[in-house]
């Protein structure tokens, strides 16, 4: 049986497979070893910076000014973004004055030097937001910050 210019299906297959044979797959790209090493060095450097910050600051007992300093160092180390730094710094500043006196019983002007537990602070803010009916997605940013503070505490406690 003749099919067009070919005498059989077998001939079609043989002719077509010669023209359309798959070329061998290219070798898998080699990893850029210097890039991988650089990532590793950057990760170790960042870990070292964050560990130093964790050893220098205790989110469970930190003054307002120390919180601002710690927040800025975390931002510089790339551990938090600028928005998270702003939230941490703002909460440190809000603790001053009448709010500080009402919540903590401090006198005005002394609040900068009074250590606070910022983990409890953020837990209470989140609990309040949820109690007044704010949806969870509105407190997600605060939860991320709370998790970062808890992570610093765990890193601090794991240090020799």
- Average pLDDT score over residue span 119-124: 90
Q: 104-121 pLDDT, tens per residue?
A: 555 444 455 788 899 998
Q: 17-64 pLDDT, tens per residue?
A: 555 444 444 454 455 555 555 666 677 888 889 899 999 999 999 988
Angle of CA points 36, 40, 44, to nearest 5°: 170
pLDDT at residue 98, as a whole number? 46
Q: Which of 58, 59, 64, 85 is nearest to 73 (CA)?
A: 85
pLDDT at residue 60, as a whole number? 94
How far apart are the C-alpha atoms of 77 and 151, rounded to whole Å?
15
- pLDDT band at residue 92 under the 50/70/90 scheme: confident
What percent of the chain is modeled with pLDDT above 90? Answer: 28
How far apart are the C-alpha atoms of 71 and 73, rounded to whole Å?
5
To the nearest whole number, what is the mean pLDDT of the chain?
Answer: 75
Q: Is 60 exceeded by the pLDDT of residue 66?
A: yes
Beta bridge partners of 6: 3
pTM for this predicted structure: 0.65
Chain centroid offset of residue 154 CA? 16
pLDDT at residue 26, as a whole number? 46
In the Cβ-directed half-sphere of 139, how many Cα atoms lie within 13 Å? 18
Which comes out higher in pLDDT, residue 26 or 155? 155
């Amino acid at each position: 049986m003749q099919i067009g210019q070919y005498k059989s299906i077998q001939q079609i297959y043989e002719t077509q497979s010669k023209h359309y044979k798959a070329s061998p797959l290219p070798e898998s790209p080699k990893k850029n070893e210097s890039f991988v090493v650089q990532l590793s060095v950057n990760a170790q450097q960042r870990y070292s910076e964050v560990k130093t910050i964790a050893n220098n600051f205790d989110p469970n007992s930190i003054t307002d000014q120390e919180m601002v300093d710690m927040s800025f160092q975390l931002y510089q180390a790339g551990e938090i973004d600028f928005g998270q730094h702003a939230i941490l710094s703002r909460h440190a500043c809000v603790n001053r004055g009448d709010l500080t006196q009402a919540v903590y019983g401090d006198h005005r002007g002394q609040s900068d030097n009074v250590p606070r537990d910022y983990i409890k602070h953020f837990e209470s803010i989140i609990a309040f937001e949820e109690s007044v009916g704010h949806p969870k997605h509105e407190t997600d940013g605060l939860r991320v910050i709370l998790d970062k503070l808890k992570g610093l505490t765990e890193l601090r406690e794991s240090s020799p």
